[in-house]
Homo-oligomer: A and B are copies of this chain.
């Protein structure tokens, strides 16, 4: 096969066209400024956007670039047979588009016709021929190359394809397991092709902005690191030293701070990170973040950097971003949207109706409010939802509520004449009803959803219900969230510490290196639970796509927080504490979740659609079969063995 290919290549070299092709190969030996004019003649594209995607290769052109201007040119094309028609036409596809090939019908070229007309689809061929304008009336305006076709004078069958498990068609949806098992076929489709190419371009623009314009240094940090405190989700890697293990870090956090101590004062890295966790929420065991850290910077400085970075890297064809992005304190986000990553593309904001319900006649609300000042009643108005939601939809919302809390969800439908319907309707007093309708600006056809209980929990619950309600409404054709709208939002002033789930003291809301809010520094020593942090999240359409903070650069403060507030063993962080004492500059940074950002940009719900070779929901690679069984012999060098006992394979 290889030999045939080469013999044929030799033949190719005989042809007059290839003589020219060889010359163009020689030209590529020159610098690009020299070669571009030569190539430019050939390309119907401005030099500015010039990308020589055929350089160094066996093709003279891509299938997708041929236009009327190329008519009369000898071309050499390589690609996949898309389909054949009447032994006359073959559509040839490469990664840049499709072109119609015309097969010679004369006997002397019977071999060409024989080869091309009967190859299985997705077979790989290289052809030579002449570009010609299509006959009058036969141009295909729906096809970028539809004005022309290539009359084939030579063909080489490079690799015959077997019949594939599924067709390479964008609209063709097959189950994801099969797609992942044959990922290399899925990648051939224009959807994943586009996603991977857009991802590459966005990353490149980010690099140009960071390195070329702002002097950031691209530094690689190790992925074979040591166990860190609270690193419950770290993968472990046995070393050849008996009993000693590396860990795959969840982020380069410690290293980037050490780089600041080391005077690499503007660092970034497109970093591979690892998290060994439940994959159900569309997460991957390995993921990618744009990791950035700066010295001598404040919170607004980092925010501005990221705003301008995203503005610069924003893909062509999308509406330009409006800077600066709006900012919202964590507390406001929770009380207005019941979420620290609110989707602000639609309304239905929460309202605190505690005062209205305090003497509403609705005993359950009245009692809850009496029970504790920490309780509240929250409500939002699902505009016109009463016209769309069916009983089962409402039951679904109530199920969501029940899963989250023992206390249920109260639903009121607004009917004509300022009246309301629903289980609660007959209990609620007239003035309360009036006040409620007014507060929520309710009109006929609206649906009011209320919940009560501990303040923050109740906000969170209604926040979930708000999103769920939007999901349901959209299934009924009500368009609330425009995928072409990109609402960025900074969430700030997070709490520095939160109570541990087991109630035993405090833990870091984000990580122990986050600096307290300058106005709250004294509170760290007196009332740590009240301290706000200098952490910031960037939210896009309901997704947290970046998070960062100003870090602690003072060793005493860092040690106090680790030992006195978090009650953690600081000894494993001795190297960091010593670094802080060794002339550590003030510094801060951020990490952009690249997979999630790209998923939003590519308008897909799953990050698996923006990753070349993702793992399945179960964390498997159905293509290669990873993870796989290892024998004791294979484990021997690492001094570990599998625990005896029954297998727990999923």
Contacts and interface: CB of A to CB of B under 8 A. Distances in A.
Contacts of A57: 294-297, 301
B639 A640 contact: no
A558 to B, nearest CB: 10
14 contacts: A2-B554, A2-B557, A56-B304, A57-B301, A159-B554, A159-B583, A181-B575, A184-B261, A236-B638, A237-B237, A241-B648, A241-B649, A254-B624, A259-B612
Given A242-B649, A245-B628, A612-B219, A214 B51 contact: yes
Contact of A2 (B188, B246, B521, B650): B521
Given A1-B554, A640-B641, A225 B262 contact: no
Interface string A618-631: 01010111111110
Nearest to A640: B640
A164 B582 contact: yes
Contacts of A617: none
A388 interface: no
A581 B162 contact: yes
A375 interface: no
B56 A184 contact: no
Interface stretch (A203-211, A419-427, A456-464, A479-487): A203-211
Contact of A521 (B3, B126, B553, B572): B3
A351 interface: no
Nearest to A636: B643
A2 B515 contact: yes
A193 B263 CA distance: 8
B584 A286 contact: no
Contacts of A5: 518, 586
A480 B192 CA distance: 53
A619 B183 contact: no
B262 A183 contact: yes
A-B interface, 10 closest residue pairs, ranked by CB to CB distance from nearest? A187-B262, A226-B626, A53-B215, A6-B518, A122-B583, A161-B583, A1-B554, A244-B627, A184-B261, A56-B301
A518 B5 CA distance: 9
A518 B8 CA distance: 11
B3 A518 contact: yes
Interface in A520-558: 521-522, 552-554, 556-557
A432 interface: no
A266 interface: yes
Contact of A126 (B2, B53, B244, B296): B296
Q: Which of A25, A51, A59 has the most CB of B within 10 A?
A: A51
Contacts of A285: 224
Interface in A358-414: none
A32 interface: yes
Given A53-B266, A162-B582, A639-B642, 5 more contacts: A51-B214, A159-B586, A222-B615, A225-B621, A244-B630
Contact of A242 (B302, B308, B647): B647
Contacts of A615: 222, 224
A19 interface: no
A245 B621 CA distance: 12
Contact of A197 (B51, B217, B556, B640): B217
A197 B197 CA distance: 28
Contacts of A225: 621, 624, 626
Nearest to A164: B582
Contacts of A286: 222-224
B94 A244 contact: no
Contacts of A504: none
Nearest to A584: B159
Contacts of A247: 626
A123 interface: yes
B296 A642 contact: no
Given A557-B2, A584-B159, A9 B298 contact: yes
B193 A264 contact: yes
Given A57-B296, A218-B203, A187 B259 contact: yes
A304 B29 contact: yes
Contacts of A580: 159
Given A262-B188, A586-B158, A640-B643, A219 B196 contact: yes
B215 A627 contact: no
Contacts of A158: 553, 585-586
B276 A240 contact: yes
Interface in A263-304: 263-266, 272, 274, 276, 285-286, 288, 294-298, 301-302, 304
Nearest to A260: B184
A192 B78 CA distance: 46
A58 interface: yes
Given A619-B239, A643-B242, A263 B625 contact: no
B240 A237 contact: no
A227 B630 contact: yes
Given A161-B582, A640-B643, A575 B623 contact: yes
Nearest to A581: B162
A580 B323 CA distance: 49
A597 interface: no
Contact of A238 (B78, B123, B236): B236
